[in-house]
Every structure is written in C-alpha cells, then in structure tokens.
Amino acid sequence: MVAGTLAIGSATLLAGIVTVLGLAGGQPSPVAAVAAAFIDRTPPWLKDFAIATFGTHDKLALLVGTLVVLAAVCAVVGLLSRWRATVSLSVFVVVGAIGLAAVLSRPGAVAADAAPTVAGVVLGLWYLARGTQPATSGGAGNPSRRLVLGAAIGATAAYVGWAVGGGAARATASRLAAVRTLRVRRRMTVPEGADLKLPGLTPFIVPNDEFYRIDTAFVVPRLDADSWRLRVTGMVEREVEIDWNALQDKEMTEALVTLTCVSNEVGGDLVGNATWTGWPVRELLAMAGPRPGADMVLQTSADGWTCGTPLGALTDDRNALLAIRMNGQPLPFEHGFPARIVVPGLYGYVSACKWVTELKVTTFAADEGYWTPRGWSARGPIKTESRIDVPQPFTDVPAGTVAVAGVAWAQHRGVAKVEVQVDDGPWRTARLAADASIDSWRQWVLEWDAPRGSHTLRVRATDGTGQVQTGTSAPPAPDGASGWHTITVRVH
C-alpha cells in the first residue's frame, strides 16, 4: 500500500507540474483518469443509484470508492509479494497499465501525458521490489519508520499535485481578467413580487454557489478564456470560429431561464433559476448558414461530453444563449466557464453544454449525444412539474394558518395555475408570484387552515397552453420524471 501511495503521489505531483507548465495535454492524476473513464462506462442503473444515494456528492463518493478499491488491490499485491515477488510485481504493473490506458483515453490526451504515470509506476515498483527483498542485516533501518515515511511522502505529493494541477491560480487570474463591460441589448430585471420571500421557500433566483451541479466531469475543467475557441462545423455553408474577445464584443441578451436535470425526481432539487447573459445562438448559427436537411446540433465540450439539440430550438425566437454570465458574474468553473449553452424548455442533458467548444450542425439520424446510447431519450423537452418546499415532509406544524408554498415550472410554456389538494379534498387554487418569464419557474403559496391530525398535501401545475400536469408517475429515465409531488405533515 505504501508502494501504491508513492506511485499515485508521484504521478499526481508530476501531472500537476506538467499541467501548470502547459506541457503535454495536461491530464490530471491517473486516479482521476480512471474515475473519469469509469463514469463514461457506468451502466444507467448504477448512475441512477449513485445520484439517488449521493446526489451532487456523487464525485466525492466515486473518488473515495476508487481509492478504496486501489487500497484493496495494493493490499493483495502486498500479500502476493510474500508468496512470489515476480507475481506481485506483475500485478502492480497491470494496475499501472490500467491507469496509463485511462490517462491516454481521456479527451485531449497526448502521448507525453503518459510520462507522469509511467514514472509513478516505476517508483512504486522500485519501492515494492526493495520491500520484497529478504531483509539483510544492517539494511534499510527501522522498517515501520520507513513505511510511515514512504506513505507520508506519497500522500503529500498527491495532495500538492492535485491542488497544483487544478490550475486554480492560473485560471482564476485569467477569469478575473475576463470581467469586462458588455453591451447588453436587452436587460432582464426580476419583476417586483416574483419572489415571495417566504421562509423555507427556494429563492426565485438561485445564487451561483447554491445552484445544482450535474456533469460527467470528474475534475472540473478550468479553461483558459484567452485560448478558448468555439467552432461551428458540419452541415454549414461556411465554418465559423469565435474566440473570447470576439464573443465579448457581441451584443448580449439577458434572459431568466430555469435549468432542469432530466434525472430530477418528482420533488427533487436538480432544478434552478438564474439570469443568463449571452449571445443568441441563432446569430452564431446564422453566420455559418445551416444547410437544408440538418435537424440537430451536436454540442461538444472541452472534456469530450456531447449533447444533441434540435436545430429549431437554437434558431427560433426563444432565448437560446451562448452564455458567459450567470447572475451577473462570469460563469463559475463548475457551470461552464468561459461559455456554455442555455436553451429554454429542454432538459440540460440535451441542451446545456458547459465548457462548449464545438457546435456541429448535423442530423438526429447521423449523430447522437452522450446520454442517448446510455438509455436516455434523444429528445428531452422539460415536463411541467411543481414542488412543495414548505412545509417540509414529515414535519410537525402547529394548527392554524399554514403557508404551503413552492415552485412550479413549464419552461417556454409558462405556468398559468397551481393547485393544491389536501387529503382527498377539492383542488384549491394557490396564489402565484408575479410572472417573470415563460422560461423561468414561478413561486406559489396557499394559505391553509390546518386542522389537527396527519395530512397529505399534493400539488399540480397548469401550463400556459392550458395543459394540466400529469398525475401519472414516471421515473426519470428515459425522458424525465412525472407525477404530483405529495408530502405528509402532522398538525398538532
């Protein structure tokens, strides 16, 4: 296990140095590469289980899981070394080769990215080989001290390499440089009364650091804005490339758009509303001139993730944006710095590409996004949903007037009505907060005269076209959960 720690520590430290110096492709630690490669091969049931169990801590859980598995493998290697040194060394090499294969399979990897992992494995082998030699008198000193020292050096190296490799310092500097005054054609102001400001109710605008985060990126890409490019390719009259400077010169639009994850369960919190500032994607696509027959745009991110968006949703008059600000701030790294796409009305997995670097105009027949072969529908319009935020399920509330409140969303159709049902009583119309945009969620509240006892509360919304939210329950896969959010409270 000490040999493993040394191998991973030195590989991670070297990878960090390589990244900071801008040598090679800048791949992170082999451990991160294995975890990332694992994410791409995770079967849908396991991914659903992970999100259901760990929520947005799923990446931390994966890191811990990967380290536990590695520790177990190293322990086996250690036991094998008592039996036959060559076997134990061979298994160690195989594990190293898996790490190496993972590093080289990551998008953007080049041959030179192999160096840190190879060096780490060689160091680990050297240590392991020394340990498996029969002890000679007057040898390497106190063996347990040597073990502790080796483990400490390895762990420190891993920690430093991880921190350095994040490129935090360099990227933060470039992000600060990125704050500049933009020309904004249409400002978006949140209307008075859109936020009811009730205790426990999710704020109308979710602050950036509280906004849900979902992606396959095991290590958050920290792109350098100055070297970022977005290319429009595929079925177009002319390919177009835009860089950070040119993008910031464009006339921006601001829009309130509620993002929703297709994995959101009924009543779940993988949904959030923000003000986005960006350049309308239709203007970018118009520069390239999509050719007849195209019906999809395959978006690709810097880390190789893809999603397929209907061409129409990017060229019609809705506010599909190439966004560079979130709630007035440069995009946080977690949410796609320097630029991402936001499309009102479509789940994130088919529309909201973060760290976007390419838009390929194509067809649904010819191409598919990352999640489609993994059991998710190729098209993902957001289903009308509503959620009760207060009171919380299974809480005790005092008898009397209780504010039942929450949010409802039906992006690009708008929310026209929200109703609440207590036990099996009639549906009662809730009071809606001011309407801000058909693309953002709407808060609602119902003053309920709560009698003592245990009660069931249920909510449903009606969208702007008059369609009532379906009460038929469906799981998130393949195209989004449905059903009425229902909670139980005790009134005393």
Ligand X SMILES: Nc1nc2c(c(=O)[nH]1)N[C@H]1C(S)=C(S)[C@@H](COP(=O)(O)O)O[C@H]1N2
Binding stretches for ligand X (CB under 6 A): 211-217, 259, 261, 301, 305, 335, 348-349, 352-355
92 binds, among ligand X, Mo ion, none (CB under 5 to 8 A by kind): none
- Which range of residues in 147-155, 159-167, 340-348, 369-377 is near Mo ion by CB under 5 A? 340-348
Interaction of residue 272 with Mo ion, rule CB under 5 A: no
What does the alpha-carbon distance between residue 99 and residue 427 come to, in Å, rounded to a whole number? 57
- Which range of residues in 7-15, 209-217, 424-432, 474-482 is near Mo ion by CB under 5 A? 209-217
> What is the SS3 assignment for the chain?
CHHHHHHHHHHHHHHHHHHHCCCCCCCCCHHHHHHHHHHHHCCHHHHHHHHHHHHHHHHHHHHHHHHHHHHHHHHHHHHHHHHCHHHHHHHHHHHHHHHHHHHHHCCCCCHHHHHHHHHHHHHHHHHHHHHHCCCCCCCCCCHHHHHHHHHHHHHHHHHHHHHHHCCHHHHHHHHHHCCCCCEEEECCCCCCCCCCCCCCCCCCCCCHHHCCCCCCCCCCCCCCHHHCEEEEEECECCCEEEEHHHHHHCEEEEEEEEEECCCCCCCCCCEEEEEEEEEEHHHHHHHHCECCCCCEEEEEECCCCEEEEEHHHHHCCCCCEEEEEECCEECCHHHCCCCEEECCCECHHHCCCCCEEEEEEECCCCCCCCCHHHCCCCCCECCCEEEEEECCCCCEECCEEEEEEEEEECCCCCEEEEEEEECCCCEEECEECCCCCCCCCEEEEEEEEECCEEEEEEEEEEECCCCECCCCCECCCCCCCECCCEEEEEEC
305 binds, among Mo ion, ligand X, none (CB under 5 to 8 A by kind): ligand X
- Which range of residues in 74-82, 165-173, 256-264, 434-442 is near Mo ion by CB under 5 A? 256-264
Tell me the closest approach of the beta carbon of residue 338 to Mo ion, in angstroms.
21
Tell me the closest approach of the beta carbon of residue 264 to Mo ion, in angstroms.
8
Tell me the closest approach of the beta carbon of residue 214 to ligand X, in angstroms.
4
Q: In the complex with Mo ion, which residue's Cβ is closer, 195 or 269? A: 269
Cis peptide before 478, with omega less than 30 degrees from 0?
yes
Interaction of residue 348 with Mo ion, rule CB under 5 A: yes
Tell me the closest approach of the beta carbon of residue 268 to Mo ion, in angstroms.
11
Q: In the complex with ligand X, which residue's Cβ is closer, 305 or 441? A: 305
Q: In the complex with ligand X, which residue's Cβ is closer, 213 or 379? A: 213
Tell me the closest approach of the beta carbon of residue 59 to ligand X, in angstroms.
11
157 binds, among ligand X, Mo ion, none (CB under 5 to 8 A by kind): none
Q: In the complex with ligand X, which residue's Cβ is closer, 54 or 427? A: 54
Interaction of residue 376 with Mo ion, rule CB under 5 A: no
Tell me the closest approach of the beta carbon of residue 144 to Mo ion, in angstroms.
49
Inter-residue contact 469 to 484 (CB < 8 Å): yes
335 binds, among Mo ion, ligand X, none (CB under 5 to 8 A by kind): ligand X
- Which range of residues in 135-143, 253-261, 319-327, 413-421 is near Mo ion by CB under 5 A? 253-261
Q: In the complex with ligand X, which residue's Cβ is closer, 204 or 448? A: 204
Tell me the closest approach of the beta carbon of residue 222 to ligand X, in angstroms.
13
∠ CA 430-435-440 to the nearest 5 degrees?
100
Tell me the closest approach of the beta carbon of residue 355 to ligand X, in angstroms.
5
Considering only 349, 376, 444, 448, the residue that binds Mo ion (CB under 5 A) is: 349
Q: In the complex with Mo ion, which residue's Cβ is closer, 280 or 348? A: 348
Q: Give the CA count within 13 Å in the CB-facing half-sphere of 373.
A: 8
212 binds, among ligand X, Mo ion, none (CB under 5 to 8 A by kind): ligand X
Q: In the complex with ligand X, which residue's Cβ is closer, 215 or 385? A: 215
Tell me the closest approach of the beta carbon of residue 254 to ligand X, in angstroms.
17
Interaction of residue 280 with Mo ion, rule CB under 5 A: no
Q: In the complex with Mo ion, which residue's Cβ is closer, 162 or 349? A: 349
Looking up tokens 């036959």 gives 84
355 binds, among ligand X, Mo ion, none (CB under 5 to 8 A by kind): ligand X
Considering only 261, 346, 416, 477, the residue that binds Mo ion (CB under 5 A) is: 261
Tell me the closest approach of the beta carbon of residue 163 to ligand X, in angstroms.
23
Tell me the closest approach of the beta carbon of residue 302 to ligand X, in angstroms.
7
Tell me the closest approach of the beta carbon of residue 415 to Mo ion, in angstroms.
21
- Which range of residues in 50-58, 257-265, 401-409, 478-486 is near Mo ion by CB under 5 A? 257-265
Interaction of residue 214 with Mo ion, rule CB under 5 A: yes
Residue nearest to Mo ion (CB): 261
Other residues' Cβ atoms within 10 Å of the Cβ of residue 204: 23
Whose CA is closest to 344, among 376, 310, 377?
A: 310
Inter-residue contact 475 to 42 (CB < 8 Å): no
- Token readout for 473 is 């329950």
Phi and psi of 346, rounded to 5°? Answer: -120, 140
Q: Which stretches of the chain bind Mo ion, using CB under 5 A?
A: 214, 261, 348-349
